[in-house]
Amino acid sequence: MRSEAAEGDWVFGYGSLMWRPGFDWVEKRAAILHGRRRAFCIYSVHHRGTPERPGLVLGLVRGGSVRGVAYRVAAERWCEVADYLREREQPTETYIEGRVRVRLDGGQRADCLTYLSDTGHPQWAGDLTEDDQARRIAGARGLSGPNVDYLRDLVAHLREAGVRDLGMERLLQRVVDLETR
């Protein structure tokens, strides 16, 4: 894969890959993907929930745009990183591995590997209301910890990057309110 920004293979992260990539990279850039938006649309029965008490994790759905992070990976590490990402992101195969074109900070473009929501998968939650999302996230816990921590990390990372996502901030407050009752 080649980029106008620099040669190399790129990965686009819009959730936990933004703050915890878990792989070696040679360049990290803020990036925007147009035509997709970040949404809590995947039931999590592994990382942030269980089959008995599913939580929710992020996916990319059609429409809008999403700010995330693009990582350039050295060519000699690409196969290792791609294998790691498949194991990490696909424990129940809820995503479709795909390629997207993002705009990097500075205006350059890069083709990136990313994970898109599989709307035909049984764990596809679809377009849930904010109340439904809050109820599903509150109290859910999986192998990676409480579901609310995932949402909290997202909001904190976005704030650190200078991005105010009022919808995610409002959702976090609703979940915190439910968990403190």
DSSP the chain: ---SS-SSEEEEESSGGGT---S--SEEEEEEEEEEEEEEEEEESSSS--SSS-EEEEEEEEEEEEEEEEEEE-GGGHHHHHHHHHHHH-SS--EEEEEEEEEETTS-EEEEEEEEE-TTSTTB--S--HHHHHHHHTT-EETTEEHHHHHHHHHHHHHHTT---HHHHHHHHHHHHHHH-
pLDDT of residue 8: 62
pLDDT of residue 7: 58
Active site residue 89: yes
Q: Mean pLDDT across the chain, nearest whole number?
A: 91
Catalytic-labelled residue, pool 89, 93, 169, 179: 89
**pTM metric for this prediction:** 0.85
The predicted-structure confidence for 21-47, as pLDDT tens digits, reads as follows 999 999 999 999 999 999 999 999 988
